[in-house]
Amino acid sequence: MDFSKTGRLCIGGKWVETDKTKDIINPADASVLSKVYAGNETHVDLAVKEAKEAFKQWGVSSVSYRAAILFKIADLIEKNSRELAEIDTLNNGKPLRDSLGDVSDSAACFRYYGGLIDKPSGQVYSVPDPNMQSFVVREPIGVCGQIAPWNYPLMMAAWKLAPCLAAGNVSVFKPSDLTPLSSVRLFEIFEEAGLPAGVANLVMGPGSVVGQAISGHTEIDKVVFTGGTDTGRKIMTGAVKNIKGISLELGGKSPCIIFDDYDLEAGVDWALFAIFCNQGEVCSAGSRLILQDTIYDKFLDRLAQRAGQIKVANGLEEGAEMGPLVSKAHMETVLSYIDIAKKEGARLICGGKRITEGKFANGYFVEPTIFADCKPDMRIVNEEVFGPVLAVQKFHTQEEAVELANATVYGLAGGVFSNDISRALQVIKAVKAGITWVNAYHPTFAQAPWGGYKQSGIGRELGTFGLDEYTEIKQININLAAGKVGWFA
């Protein structure tokens, strides 16, 4: 992979250099992959200006025209899938098989929204006055500021940009300053696909500068953010300046509930996948395992054994199952939570250390880690670790399982495993979360909405709900009987 070119901003269809650069690090060995230019408030202002100008044409363009470009983008993502996957693996650390899946999902997202926008929308009403025809149409919002996270660099860009552009909006897009490389490549694909200049603008830089400028900009009509809950609060504060719309997909501390009637080996397999997929750097990770007491000890023995067999490696290595964490700072945060869990009395049954031997010496690798006998007041149970660290709790009754599952300020996701489908449905309906599974965990589809309850966010991405987030609703009333109203004498 050739990273000899420095990543530039893309504003108004032009590739822009700035007076500041940032080293982009490979988390597998701490080497410098590339440099990218960092923008500031001035670049956000310029991007907004270019976006507003482009909106005059893009916002009124035909759906067939927009769809054709989105389909072309999807085709080009697939054509360059290996390159894009390798970029994300080198930049983020995740195994290549994970990145290949992300690229496939990204192409599917653009293709889904390209195919959705010519379908029926709006509503027509039969109102009490027979001379009035009343109906609703959906229109694009305008300039959308979009801020993406580092854990799924390309896929999160697709989740935001595809519905935004499909609906006729224009974008000022900021990728994470840790993992911007696949976004730079995506904007090159936009150019190749014929997306008009200024419709999508790429402004890289730190969240404290570029992200803050986007959230507070009075000429940005909506801001969309995926990331931590604390940052989400700052986004909301910035949005107050012009009362702009917001969509926030924030943190999670999601429960994975397993009853004793479910096959033990299958349950262990899903529990591992729920927490250790993508190194645990997943907002919806099943980071709290809630086990029925009758299988607790036997299940944990097998779980620890299987976790110890996970192949932790450089994401490009053949057979890699779990890669490094995204950065040194994030690794240190995860390790600090492991120390906190030990001090609070959680029982470590697996992992718990940074891996530093041999080829791991310079990378940000942490062992798959499991803590048993966790209590409701422990920080590891209540706070999002966002890494390969699992907190296990015990329950006896169905009611107790639900109580433990809902004992969190978050409400993003949750899973229930039971062969009694009636019980499983009762429990999953009682879990206060926006994304749920029965006898599965993590499957995600472009057709279905993604978002959470409580402090896990506001609004939804994906599906028709995700497209609606990028539209304004306009009521239109037509008087079919010409003449005076006759209200005044």
- Strands 369-372 and 389-395, by their bridges, are parallel
Q: Which of 283, 321, 350, 469 is catalytic?
A: 283
**Does residue 249 have an active-site annotation?**
yes
Phi, psi of 311 (to 5 degrees): -85, 105
**Does residue 344 have an active-site annotation?**
no
Question: Can you say how many angstroms the Cα of residue 425 is from the centroid of all Cα atoms in its chain?
Answer: 26
Q: Which of 10, 109, 164, 249 is catalytic?
A: 249
Q: CB of 247 within 8 A of CB of 225?
A: yes
- Strands 222-226 and 245-249, by their bridges, are parallel
Q: Which residues contact 59 (CB under 8 A, 6 or more apart)?
A: 140, 142, 168, 169, 170
State the DSSP H helix or E strand holding residue 316, giving kind and residue range, or none if neither: none
Q: State how far the Cα of 380 lies from the Cα of 102, in Å rounded to an integer.
A: 28
Among 99, 395, 442, 456, smallest CA distance to 271 is for: 442
Q: CB of 30 within 8 A of CB of 363?
A: yes
DSSP string, 328-387: HHHHHHHHHHHHHHHHTT-EEEE--SB--SGGGTTS--B--EEEES--TT-HHHHS---S
Q: CB of 435 within 8 A of CB of 413?
A: yes
Q: CB of 105 within 8 A of CB of 153?
A: no
Beta strand spans in 209-351 (E): 222-226, 245-249, 255-258, 288-292, 347-350
Q: State how far the Cα of 310 lies from the Cα of 314, in Å rounded to an integer.
A: 13
* Torsion angle in degrees (nearest 10) through CA of 14, 18, 20, 24: 10
- How many CB atoms are located within 10 Å of the residue 21 CB? 15
Give me the active site residues, please.
249, 283
